[in-house]
Chain A
């Protein structure tokens, strides 16, 4: 089997997604209104099919989970929830309604349905491709495929001048960020002469980390920081989250973030060095280390990102803006987890920061989605109602929605038994093991600060009297289901997240360690701790 054939086998779920997206474009323009209404169903079916195919591909062979298959699985599962959240959004647009108002005179030029769902699927495909990237060119294309459709979704998803403004802001900063991480990729190529990840790692093992290479890595991290809304590329977050329609905001909080963190893990593995040392009980440990410059950059980024996010979050009165700054803060926590990989020991799950980050991405997505879904149930004059005062008296009017909002916020704060707590423990313990005690203290203090604004949301739902405001409640079935699914999963995974933790650990380990060195160490010291399991993982993933 040629290398190309193996690669195409691997990206079959993505190919399914692309075909599904093209089908959405066509179905969305069909002459008959009945068939046009099926566009959502086509999109959901595509996601479900891609997800099942990926699960079958992974579970059927005795391959362990890889970063690629885990990312695809997560995207498919969360994607179905996001899609049911967003379903019906393009039908509400004035342009679409006009185009379909006369059954006999359908105007295909103005209808948005097909494009919206197709862009939705294209963007998810981009994230899935990020997970499987093994080349700088590939990673660049995957990141752009993730971002480009989201610009359109933000700008056109709402009949509102705010949406246009946030769309253009998002686009321009996105283009700037793309140029920055592309420059980083170019310098990495310049320092090594290759773009394949394995070859880059081999080259760096021979030449050592050169200044040009470090500069490339740093520029890549800063540029990709835009996708995860990290300092210094976080300025757009609040404006874009506020201006975009709520289902798209929930989409933005999960999809580009996942793409960003998966890419950051991949970029960091380029600089990580696999070492071995004698552990405290007479055991040989295989561990990885990151260059000091990269560690310092990540440290500063993490500390500033979470502090800025939380302090700005305290000053907001619009729930969407609060959740936007909370999204910035959560990126900061995840950067702490990412630093945790800088002394990841083979076979010790609690030191694997990358796995913690993947776990936390799911945890954050669930809590955040539930919060946004409850928020989307509030309307005023046919438009979104997103102020804190709009939530007043929610518990009296709809106790169920208020309870879901409470659960979502508890998970975002990180209180046990919610999944947010388990995720934070996972990431922060890795960072402590790597010796970043100071940073973890900053993170914990920040979590405490963040409780203030989350509890302010809960306070508005439960303890504020509803004045005779014009906020209407429109709890559509989809939104309540999404909120319910998010909250229930957040509780369930908080209580029984061991399996997910195991899978994330298995998924990231082969990327982190250099297979050649692990094998070499095992030849000399077969009793090396955790080496066998790691080697097995690497062996299975690189047949």
Chain B
């Protein structure tokens, strides 16, 4: 893999990351917001795999497996928290949760 091809993969990874970031800031639905952080993780994972191929070692791919594990743990936690909040207020709107201010 030459550096030209690496750049393509990196750009896709960066686009995924930025889309996730923008979505996180603009969307107000708790589940969509969580999916946006997942998209950021996937953008990073794509970059890691591309770098791994570019450097001809598997360290990056091993890293990705750990990243996926953490992402899964985070997903479990997120859904648990979202269910906890939904039971209280019957809404997924993040704006409903803004009593703490100052």
Q: State which residues 107-148 of A face B: CB under 8 Å.
A: 136-137, 140-141, 144, 148
**A239 and B100 form a contact (CB under 8 A):** yes
CB distance from A12 to the nearest CB of B (A): 22
Given contacts A137-B59, A175-B34, 8 further A-B contacts (CB under 8 A): A148-B77, A165-B85, A165-B100, A176-B40, A178-B37, A193-B59, A195-B59, A316-B102
Q: Which of B46-88 contact A (CB under 8 A)?
A: 47-48, 51, 54-55, 57, 59-60, 62-63, 66-67, 70, 73-74, 77-78, 80-82, 84-85, 88
CA gap between A189 and B57 in the complex, in Å: 11
Which interface residue of A152, A175, A195 has the most chain B CB atoms within 10 A?
A175
Whether A238 sits at the interface, judged by CB under 8 Å, is yes
Q: Please name the residue on chain B nearest to A243 by beta carbon.
A: B100
Stretch at the interface among A179-187, A258-266, A504-512: A179-187
Minimum CB–CB distance for B21 against chain A, Å: 8
Contact of A152 among B59, B77, B85 (CB under 8 A): B77
Given contacts A152-B77, A186-B44, A186-B51, contact A137 B66 (CB under 8 A): yes
* Given known contacts A162-B99, A182-B41, A193-B57, A171 and B77 CB-to-CB distance under 8 angstroms: yes
Chain A proximity of B65: nearest CB distance (Å): 9
The residue of chain A having its C-beta at the shortest distance from the C-beta of B51 within the complex is A190
A180-B41 Cα distance, complex, nearest whole Å: 9
A167-221 contacts to B (CB < 8 Å): 167-169, 171-172, 175-176, 178-180, 182-183, 185-187, 189-190, 193-195
**A165 CA / B43 CA spacing, docked (Å):** 28
Complex Cα distance, B102 from A166, in Å, reads 14
In the complex, A292 Cα to B20 Cα: how many Å? 30
Instruction: Name the CB-closest residue of B to A239.
Output: B100
* A189 and B84 contacting across the interface, CB-CB below 8 Å: no
Instruction: Mark contacts of B10-37 with chain A using CB atoms, 8 A cut-off: 1 yes-contact digit, 0 otherwise.
Output: 1000000100110010000010011001
A144 close to B70 (CB less than 8 A):
yes
Digitize A231-244: 1 where CB-to-B-CB distance is under 8 Å, 0 elsewhere: 00000001100110
**A300 in the interface (beta carbon within 8 A):** no
Residue of chain A at shortest CB distance from B50 = A190
Q: Bound state CA distance, A137 and B62, in angstroms? A: 9
Give the CA-CA distance A148 to B77 in the complex, in Å.
8
Cα(A85)–Cα(B41), bound, Å: 36
Contact check, A182 vs B99: say whether CB atoms are below 8 A apart: no
Does B47 lie within 8 Å of A165, measured CB to CB? no
Q: Please name 25 pairs of A and B residues whose Cβ atoms are closer than 8 Å in the assembled complex, sorted by A.
A: A137-B59, A140-B67, A144-B73, A144-B74, A151-B77, A151-B81, A155-B81, A162-B100, A165-B100, A168-B81, A168-B97, A169-B100, A171-B77, A172-B30, A179-B17, A179-B37, A179-B40, A180-B40, A185-B63, A186-B44, A186-B60, A190-B10, A190-B54, A195-B63, A242-B100
Pairwise interchain contact B37-A172, C-beta atoms closer than 8 A:
yes
Is A8 part of the contact surface with B, judged by Cβ < 8 Å?
no
Give complex CA distance A185, B62 in Å: 14
Residues of B at the A interface (CB closer than 8 Å) are 10, 17, 20-21, 24, 30, 33-34, 37, 40-41, 43-44, 47-48, 51, 54-55, 57, 59-60, 62-63, 66-67, 70, 73-74, 77-78, 80-82, 84-85, 88, 97-102
A321 at the interface (CB under 8 A from B): yes
Establish whether residues A172 and B70, one from each chain, have CB atoms under 8 Å apart when the complex forms: no
Interface centre among A152, A186, A187, A315 (most CB of B within 10 A): A186
Q: Are A175 and B78 in contact (CB under 8 A)?
A: yes
Taken together as a complex, chains A and B put the C-alpha atoms of A293 and B75 apart, in Å, by: 35
Task: Say what secondary structure dominates the interface of chain A.
Answer: helix
**Contact present for B84 and A155 (CB under 8 Å):** yes
Bound together, the chains give a CA A175 to CA B30 distance in angstroms of 13
Residues of chain B with a CB closer than 8 A to A180's CB = 40
- In angstroms, Cα B85 to Cα A243, docked, is 14
Given contacts A179-B44, A190-B47, contact A141 B102 (CB under 8 A): no
Q: Is the CB–CB distance between A172 and B34 below 8 Å?
A: yes
Set A141, A186, A238, A243: member contacting B47, Cβ < 8 A = A186
| Neighbouring B residues of A168 by C-beta, 8 Å | 30, 81-82, 85, 97
Q: Indicate whether A186 sits within 8 Å of B81 (C-beta atoms), given known contacts A161-B99, A172-B33, A179-B17.
A: no
Q: What residues on A are CB-neighbors of B70 within 8 Å?
A: 140-141, 144, 178
Q: Which residues of B contact A156 (CB under 8 A)?
A: 84
A185 to B60, alpha carbons, bound, how many Å? 10
Tell me how far the C-beta of A288 lies from the nearest C-beta in chain B, rounded to whole angstroms: 27
Bound-state Cα–Cα, A187 to B30, Å: 29
Q: A164, A179, A180: which has the most chain B beta carbons within 10 Å?
A: A179
A187 CB contacts on chain B under 8 angstroms: 47
Cα A140 to Cα B71 in complex, Å, equals: 12
Q: Which of B10, B24, B97, B98 has the most CB of A within 10 A?
A: B97
Given A155-B81, A175-B37, A189-B59: A182 touches B44 (CB 8 Å cut-off): yes
Cα distance, A167 to B57, chains bound together (Å): 39
Instruction: Report Cα–Cα, A270/B99, bound state, in Å.
Output: 42
Taking CB atoms, residues of chain A closer than 8 Å to B100 are 162, 165-166, 169, 238-239, 242-243
In the assembled complex, the CB of A454 is this many whole angstroms from the nearest CB of chain B, namely: 18
